[in-house]
Amino acid sequence: MVSSSDAGLRRSGYRHALLLGVVLATLISSVHGKVTPCAVATWKFGEIAVREAARWLAEGHSAVDAAERAVNAVELDTQDQYFVGVGGLPNRDGVMELDAAIMRGRGYRLGCVLAVQGISTPVSVARKLMEHGQHTVLAGEGAKTFALENGFKEENILTDESRREFELWKREQNFTVDKEASHDTIGIICRDETGELVVATSTSGWKFKLPGRVGDSPLVGSGFYVDQACGAAVATGDGEEIMRGCLSFLVVERMRMGDSPTRACEHAIARLRAIQSSGASFQGENRQHKKLTVGIVAMNTNGDVGASSTLGMICEGLKNSSSLHAQALPISTGANQHFLASSGSRWEQELAENR
């Protein structure tokens, strides 16, 4: 019999991971008249995405190319993260169902795929839908059919290790999810040298979820939103809670009203707490974690970044760095470990402390 320690070894480093490990990279443009490309992502494993985005942006690629390739890097990674794409955890029936979305600031163009099976890079399917599809959102078999008709290959994306963990859960957990060990979403915001903002998300969702469950990640306004006139936001954490307040849309609208990214994120977290106190939340039954766990990252059109979370976090910018790769800075806050990774970052003076 496989022990829980054996099956969960690779995930143990993330069982008490941060709510919102912000990863930020800023690239200094040497081309006159161009704005500074930059990227920011959620969670510690977002460093994988930011490294890839930094490479693409430094080569002059568009923000939409950079965002897609950055998320692909996480979707296909099975070593450094265990929460998105290949290597993620399946639903209650042992089937992998993936959600992803991408949206451009210019033109409000977007594509979203929900509960798609057998496709390793769902964010690329979402981009294909955004650019060539008749619709904006496709789910389940429809999303899979669209992917196959557009050249994507069906694959087995449930790894042996994830299958073993699922089988262990069935035997030992009696179909009760360990909320402390739940996983989460990659969300990234990219700005290219033309100034365009693009957001992208991808997730395998709440582990051992009911088949067909969809969280906030691929839902416009909840898990992500961008408006070229004012900024972009991505959310992470308890999707059922994030959806109640359309938090990403709220953050972008607050930036439209003049809030800094940090203030906009803090306002959204305060709004979520107000929704919770009104009795809209089901006492944690619909949460992925044991306590309310939601974080938001935002970027305005100037490239200023802000964040806030329900758990509280403290981030400090690492300035005067010429390195293009991200480096992790652990910061302890109570029982939670928070990480900031930055590269030549341009942060606001106050960043990401929940109030």
Is 26 one of the catalytic residues?
A: no
Which residues, listed in sequence order, are joined to residue 232 by a DSSP beta bridge?
226, 299
Q: What are phi and psi of 191, to 5 degrees?
A: -125, 125
Task: Pick the catalytic residue from 26, 121, 185, 310.
Answer: 185
203 close to 190: Cβ distance less than 8 angstroms: no
Tokens 């964040």 sit on residue: 307
Q: What is the 3-state secondary structure (H, E, C) of the chain?
A: CCCHHHHCHHHHHHCCCCCCCEEEEECCCCCCCCCCCEEEECCCCHHHHHHHHHHHHHCCCCHHHHHHHHHHHHHCCCCCCCCCCCCCCCCCCCCCCEEEEEEECCCCCEEEEEEECCCCCHHHHHHHHHHHCCCCEEEHHHHHHHHHHCCCCCCCCCCHHHHHHHHHHHHHCCCCCCHHHCCCCEEEEEECCCCCEEEEEEECCCCCCCCCCCCCCCCECCCEEEECCCEEEEEEECHHHHHHHCHHHHHHHHHHCCCCHHHHHHHHHHHHHHHHHCCCCCCCCCCCCCCCCEEEEEEECCCCEEEEECCCCCCCCCCCCCCCCCEEEEEEECCEEEEEEEECCCCCCCCCCCC
> Radius of gyration over alpha carbons of the chain, in Å?
19
Determine whether the annotation assigns residue 145 to a binding site. Answer: no
Determine whether the annotation assigns residue 77 to a binding site. Answer: no
Determine whether the annotation assigns residue 215 to a binding site. Answer: yes
Determine whether the annotation assigns residue 216 to a binding site. Answer: yes
Q: If you ran DSSP here, which 8-state letter would residue 115 be given?
A: E
Q: What are phi and psi of 263, to 5 degrees?
A: -65, -40
Determine whether the annotation assigns residue 239 to a binding site. Answer: yes
Determine whether the annotation assigns residue 231 to a binding site. Answer: no
Determine whether the annotation assigns residue 238 to a binding site. Answer: yes
Closest by Cα among 183, 353, 182, 185 to 269: 353
Residues annotated as part of the active site: 185
Binding residues for substrate: 213-216, 236-239
Show binding-site residues.
213-216, 236-239
